[in-house]
């Protein structure tokens, strides 16, 4: 009888980091919302040290920000920052895709299709944190396929900085349906080896997302004034 593979339990810092990422991706923690360290540590059954360490990691990623005498809060971007991040993503991801897609074979296409199914399944259950994680896997299969680690790192920074806004997009059923259709089109274009179609569909995919997110941000901003 073979022993089950050993899996090291997460450290307290890793557990806190995972919980904060989930809360941000799901929209439970919203842009601009303060993060109270003591209640979070008590709820998770840890000291404040791993909470502080996890927050510093997220600060480095741009997902939270720190202000003296005020503490940590979820990063709030203005519309110009968000549009700039998506524009730079378009430039970098297009370069990656032009290198990656011609290299893709049946195995890579199957992995992309599987990631798309995971996005759909999470969306069907309105599990936005899982949907965001699966969506990231889908897109980074295309980015990482280029084999350019520095480019991948830059794209990851841009994704990290805008993760908090994806819950705005996923919360709308019409947007979840659009994601399903657009991912299916991207997978088919990759399977067909139609590079220009992949680029066009990714451009449209990002454009729809930024349009909806900026609209939701405008509504949210109006509510707060």
User: pLDDT digit string (tens) for 55-69?
Assistant: 999 998 888 999 998
Do 59 and 140 share a structural domain? no
- Given this model, what pLDDT does residue 218 score? 66
Do 205 and 139 share a structural domain? yes
CA distance 40 to 37: 5
135 — pLDDT class (breaks 50, 70, 90):
very high
Do 125 and 66 share a structural domain? no
Do 44 and 26 share a structural domain? yes
CA distance 36 to 72: 8
Do 43 and 135 share a structural domain? no
For residue 149, being part of any structural domain is answered with yes
CA 126 to each of CA 29, 118, 189, 205, 208: distance values in angstroms, whole numbers, following the listed order: 16, 12, 27, 20, 20
- Given this model, what pLDDT does residue 223 score? 53
Least confident of 38-52, 162-176, 192-206, 209-223: 209-223
For residue 208, being part of any structural domain is answered with yes
Cross-strand partners of 5: none
For residue 33, being part of any structural domain is answered with yes
User: What's the per-residue H, E or C state across the chain?
Assistant: CCCCCCCCCCCHHHHHHHHHHHHHHHCCCCCCCECCHHHHHHHHCCCHHHHHHHHHHHHHHCCEEEECCCEEEECCCCHHHHHHHHHHHHHHHHHHHHHHHHHCCHHHHHHHHHHHHHHHHHHHCCCHHHHHHHHHHHHHHHHHCCCCHHHHHHHHHHHHHHHHHHHHHHCCHHHHHHHHHHHHHHHHHHHHCCHHHHHHHHHHHHHHHHHHHHHHHHHHHHHHC
For residue 4, being part of any structural domain is answered with no
Do 83 and 49 share a structural domain? no
Do 96 and 56 share a structural domain? no
- The residue out of 49, 74, 99 marking a domain boundary is 74
Domain assignment of residue 124, given as a range = 79-224
For residue 153, being part of any structural domain is answered with yes
- Residue among 35, 95, 87 nearest 59 (CA): 35
**Residue 171 in tokens:** 């919360």
Do 151 and 66 share a structural domain? no
Query: Which CATH number is 158's domain given?
Result: 1.20.120.530
- Given this model, what pLDDT does residue 6 score? 39
Do 92 and 52 share a structural domain? no
For residue 189, being part of any structural domain is answered with yes
Q: Which residue has the higher pLDDT, 163 or 11?
A: 11
CA 114 to each of CA 16, 110, 137: distance values in angstroms, whole numbers, following the listed order: 28, 6, 10
The answer on pLDDT for 139 being more than 50 is yes
- Given this model, what pLDDT does residue 2 score? 42
**Residue 28 in tokens:** 């439970």
- State the average pLDDT for the chain: 89
Do 101 and 36 share a structural domain? no
Query: Which CATH number is 28's domain given?
Result: 1.10.10.10
Do 141 and 55 share a structural domain? no
Structural domain total, the chain? 2
Do 216 and 186 share a structural domain? yes
For residue 7, being part of any structural domain is answered with no
- The residue out of 40, 59, 74 marking a domain boundary is 74
- The residue out of 21, 47, 74 marking a domain boundary is 74
**pTM value?**
0.81
pLDDT tens-digit map of 14-69: 999 989 988 888 888 888 899 999 999 999 999 999 999 999 999 988 889 999 98
- Given this model, what pLDDT does residue 220 score? 59
């Amino acid at each position: 009888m073979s022993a089950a593979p050993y899996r090291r339990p997460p450290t307290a810092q890793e557990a806190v980091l995972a919980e904060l990422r989930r809360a941000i991706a799901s929209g439970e923690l919203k842009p601009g919302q303060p993060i109270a360290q003591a209640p979070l540590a008590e709820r998770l059954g840890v000291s404040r040290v791993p909470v502080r360490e996890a927050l510093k990691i997220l600060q480095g990623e741009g997902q939270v920000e720190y202000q003296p005498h005020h503490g940590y809060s979820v990063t709030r971007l203005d519309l110009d920052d968000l549009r700039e991040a998506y524009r730079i993503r378009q430039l970098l991801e297009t370069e990656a895709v032009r290198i990656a897609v011609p290299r893709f074979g049946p195995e890579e296409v199957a992995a992309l299709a599987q990631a798309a199914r995971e996005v759909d399944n999470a969306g069907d259950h309105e599990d936005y944190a899982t949907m965001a994680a699966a969506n990231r896997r889908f897109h980074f299969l295309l980015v990482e396929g280029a084999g350019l680690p520095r480019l991948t790192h830059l794209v990851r920074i841009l994704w990290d900085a805008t993760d908090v806004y994806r819950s705005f997009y996923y919360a709308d059923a019409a947007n979840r349906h659009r994601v399903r259709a657009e991912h299916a089109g991207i997978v088919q274009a990759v399977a067909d080896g139609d590079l220009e179609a992949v680029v066009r569909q990714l451009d449209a995919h990002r454009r729809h997302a930024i349009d909806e997110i900026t609209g939701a941000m405008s509504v949210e901003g109006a509510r707060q004034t």
